[in-house]
Chains A and B, each alone.
Chain A
């Protein structure tokens, strides 16, 4: 930390983040690996690898393809399942001095609800022993690499509403809903989340994309389409975050291609309460620590004492 009088804190659903730098789901595992490289307590928060009720092997074939200023991924929610996550990862999460967010995925509404209930029950059990491993649920209705009933939940507001409503009823933990840029109307989607009682929304998940191997005359990905992330998507993400911030009163967590402190500040200026960092972790393994410091440096250089001075100024 450079200066202690700077106020970089954010509040989402009653949870205080020490700074707006949150590691995005799917790029940071459950934090253990990066925790060997730098001190995770520097971070505002961590959103863990997406988990589903049942274990998933993820997608076969090639899972990553680099594109100009970005990358396509098709991991397909490979994860050990929620019971294994609670059993094997949460002991580590208990030790972390940063906001811990479970990213909850699913195939059916029932899977989402059952998953949320397991996380909630585990959280209550730990709390009874004076412990805590999970501070918030990030509901992933937008993974482009996993389809449910022929359509991802993140596209149509009316379909997503049911999932949000049911999961909201299944947990007392603060709920943040992660939105897809592939939604028909992302501002409508965010408004629906607010109406259904979500404490926050986060956006954007990856943009659905494609890569064809022209020599082989077929898609690089077995799943045909894949999710685009990285600096290439930042302008789109920023515009969507701005639109959503204009529509809802709940906190908005922005993400999409952030690769510098100034990128992050742009999202704050668009109205984001906090900002998630994904692909940049692969560019710079100490992205989180660097961005925390970079935001503080920016504030000093610009004479900003509190991020609220610049939040949502556009």
Chain B
């Protein structure tokens, strides 16, 4: 059990929850989160937005019944957290770009905080959120609203590119990566549906070059060229 320190709305349908506890999460890892007993049945996988001495933060979007319930929770109430889970982002080498689309910007904040150099590219569809927080890290931030943020990134200008966003954006990143000069190591972070979160149930399984892998325990970050997106 983790007690909610704060749970604030930052944009239409977008919230930041701060839950108390001592965790040693790495950027790109996630927790299975639930704020209820039995229903809805499944916990929700939420990636780590930030972590401080008080606890862990989640930047999340209300997408269904579970996240709706989470959004209505108040400071002082308890959530159940299983994690940190998954492997998170690998060590970034050289010049690095962090590219997020929609709620996919969430894991990039904690990643950016731990990089000496990184260029952030954040794409939003309707409303920009957490801009001040992202800018306060101190790295260059490029923001796009309503367009295709990926088009603003020159992969060849980087050694490492991390991309997190909806699946069409990840597929576009794969194509862009394949068509670039190939200098950059491009990684994508998947947002698959999960049940157990720890690698036991195989509902989040993804096709990879060497057979199936689990988005939860083998990922959620994969090399762009290794994963087959449907």
Q: Which 9 A-B pairs have the closest CB atoms?
A: A29-B200, A64-B203, A63-B203, A33-B198, A33-B200, A282-B195, A33-B199, A78-B202, A75-B202
Task: Give 12 A-B contacts (CB < 8 Å), ordered by A residue.
Answer: A26-B201, A27-B196, A27-B200, A29-B199, A58-B212, A64-B201, A66-B40, A78-B205, A279-B41, A282-B43, A285-B82, A285-B196
Let me know if B205 and A281 touch, CB within 8 A. no
Binding site of B, secondary structure by majority: helix, strand, loop or mixed?
A: loop
Option from B196, B202, B207 in Cβ contact (under 8 Å) with A282: B196
Residues A34 and B200 in contact in the complex (CB < 8 Å), given A57-B211, A62-B193 = yes
Let me know if B38 and A58 touch, CB within 8 A. no
Tell me, rounded to whole Å, the shortest Cβ–Cβ distance linking A70 to chain B: 7
Distance in angstroms between the alpha carbons of A37 and B230 in the assembled complex = 32
Residues in A whose Cβ lies below 8 Å from that of B38: 69, 231, 259, 283
Let me know if A282 and B42 touch, CB within 8 A. yes
Residues in B whose Cβ lies below 8 Å from that of A259: 38
Q: Is A142 at the interface (CB under 8 A from chain B)?
A: no
Distance in angstroms between the alpha carbons of A34 and B199 in the assembled complex = 9
Residues in B whose Cβ lies below 8 Å from that of A64: 42, 193-195, 201, 203
Nearest to A26 among chain B residues (CB) is: B201
Binding site of A, secondary structure by majority: helix, strand, loop or mixed?
A: loop
Q: Is A230 at the interface (CB under 8 A from chain B)?
A: yes
Residues in A whose Cβ lies below 8 Å from that of B201: 26-27, 29, 64, 73, 75, 282
Tell me, rounded to whole Å, the shortest Cβ–Cβ distance linking B207 to chain A: 7
Let me know if B200 and A71 touch, CB within 8 A. no
Let me know if B202 and A37 touch, CB within 8 A. no
Residues A285 and B198 in contact in the complex (CB < 8 Å), given A62-B193, A66-B40, A230-B41 = yes
Tell me, rounded to whole Å, the shortest Cβ–Cβ distance linking A194 to chain B: 32
Option from A33, A63, A281 in Cβ contact (under 8 Å) with B193: A63
Distance in angstroms between the alpha carbons of A36 and B196 in the assembled complex = 13
Q: Is B142 at the interface (CB under 8 A from chain A)?
A: no
Q: Is B132 at the interface (CB under 8 A from chain A)?
A: no
Size range of the interface on A?
Answer: 20 to 34
Q: Is A209 at the interface (CB under 8 A from chain B)?
A: no
Residues in B whose Cβ lies below 8 Å from that of A73: 195, 201, 203
Residues in A whose Cβ lies below 8 Å from that of B43: 282-283
Residues A33 and B42 in contact in the complex (CB < 8 Å), given A75-B201, A78-B212 = no
Let me know if B200 and A69 touch, CB within 8 A. no
Tell me, rounded to whole Å, the shortest Cβ–Cβ distance linking B93 to chain A: 30
Q: Is A235 at the interface (CB under 8 A from chain B)?
A: no
Distance in angstroms between the alpha carbons of A57 and B202 in the assembled complex = 10
Chain B interfacial residues counted at CB < 8 A: 26
Let me know if B198 and A58 touch, CB within 8 A. no
Residues in B whose Cβ lies below 8 Å from that of A100: none
Distance in angstroms between the alpha carbons of A71 and B39 in the assembled complex = 11
Nearest to B34 among chain A residues (CB) is: A283
0 or 1 for each of B182-208: is its CB under 8 Å from A? (1 = yes): 000000000001111011111111010
Residues in B whose Cβ lies below 8 Å from that of A68: 39
Let me know if B203 and A69 touch, CB within 8 A. no
Let me know if B198 and A34 touch, CB within 8 A. yes
Nearest to A259 among chain B residues (CB) is: B38
Let me know if B198 and A71 touch, CB within 8 A. no
Residues in A whose Cβ lies below 8 Å from that of B195: 64, 71, 73, 282
Tell me, rounded to whole Å, the shortest Cβ–Cβ distance linking B127 to chain A: 23
Tell me, rounded to whole Å, the shortest Cβ–Cβ distance linking B143 to chain A: 30
Let me know if B41 and A69 touch, CB within 8 A. yes
A residues 277-292 touching B (CB-CB < 8 Å): 279, 281-283, 285
Tell me, rounded to whole Å, the shortest Cβ–Cβ distance linking B171 to chain A: 15
B residues 15-67 touching A (CB-CB < 8 Å): 32, 38-43, 65
Distance in angstroms between the alpha carbons of A65 and B230 in the assembled complex = 17
Residues in B whose Cβ lies below 8 Å from that of A29: 199-202
Distance in angstroms between the alpha carbons of A70 and B42 in the assembled complex = 9
Q: Is B217 at the interface (CB under 8 A from chain A)?
A: yes
Nearest to A75 among chain B residues (CB) is: B202
Let me know if B202 and A63 touch, CB within 8 A. yes
Q: Is A28 at the interface (CB under 8 A from chain B)?
A: yes
Tell me, rounded to whole Å, the shortest Cβ–Cβ distance linking A221 to chain B: 11
